[in-house]
Structure 1
Amino acid sequence: MPKTTRDRIIQAALSSFAKRGYEGTTLAHIAGAVGIQKPSLYNHFSGKDELYLTVAKKVMEESTEVMMTSANAHQEKAVKDRIYIVLTDITDFIHQKHKGVMYKRFMLFPPASLTEDLKKLGQSGDAKIDQLLMNFFEQGRREGVFNVDSFSVFRAGFYILMDGSFTESFYYQDEDFQERLEGAWIVFWRGVSR
Structure 2
Amino acid sequence: MTADKIKAAALAHFANHGYSGASLSGIASDVGIKTPSIYAHFKNKDELFLAVTEEAIAREWEQATAYFKNRSSSFKEKLYGFLRSQKENYDEDERAKFWLRTSYFPPEHLHDQVMKDVYNLLDKMETLLLQEFKEAKEQEPQLNSLNIEHAAKAYIALLDGVFVELLYGGERRTEERLEASWYMYERALFS
C-alpha distance 22-133 of structure 1, shift in aligned 2 (>3 A)? same
1:118 CA drift (Å): 0.6
Match of 2:127 among 128, 131, 134: 131
> Alpha-carbon deviation of 1:56?
1.5
Superposed CA offset, 1:78-119 (max 9, x none) = 211121222222222123353343223211211122111111
- Equivalent residue, structure 2, for 1:13: 10
Q: TM-score, normalised by structure 2?
A: 0.87
Amino acid at match of 2:87: T
Equivalent residue runs for 1:59-70 within 5 Å: 59-70=56-67
Q: How does 1:39-50 map to 2 (within 5 A)?
A: 39-50=36-47
Between the aligned partners of 2:145 and 2:119, the Cα distance in structure 1 is: 24
Return the alpha-carbon distance in structure 2 between the equivalents of residues 23 and 148 of structure 1.
49
Change (3 A) 1:168 1:124: same
Shift of 1:68: 1.4
2:29 is aligned with what amino acid? G
Give CA deviations for 1:12-59 in whole Å, capped at 9, x if unaligned.
111111222111222222112111112211121111111111112222
Report if the CA contact (8 A) 1:10-1:51 is conserved: yes
Out of 49, 52, 55, the residue aligned to residue 58 of structure 1 is: 55
- Paired residue total: 189
User: Are the equivalent residues in 2 in contact too, given 1:148–1:193 (CA < 8 A)?
Assistant: no
Unpaired segments ≥5 residues, structure 1: none
Q: 1:80 aligns with which of 62, 76, 91?
A: 76
Counterparts of 1:146-185 in structure 2, within 5 Å, are 146=143, 149-170=146-167, 171-173=169-171, 177-185=174-182
Q: CA RMSD in A?
A: 2.0
Percent of pairs with identical residues:
29
2:23 counterpart residue number = 26
Q: Distance in 1 between matches of 2:107 and 2:183?
A: 36
1:82–1:105 distance in 2 versus 1, CA, 3 Å: closer
CA 1:147/1:177 → structure 2, altered by over 3 Å: closer, same or farther?
A: farther
Say yes or no: does 1:141 pair with 2:163. Answer: no
Deviation at 1:138, TM superposition (A): 0.5
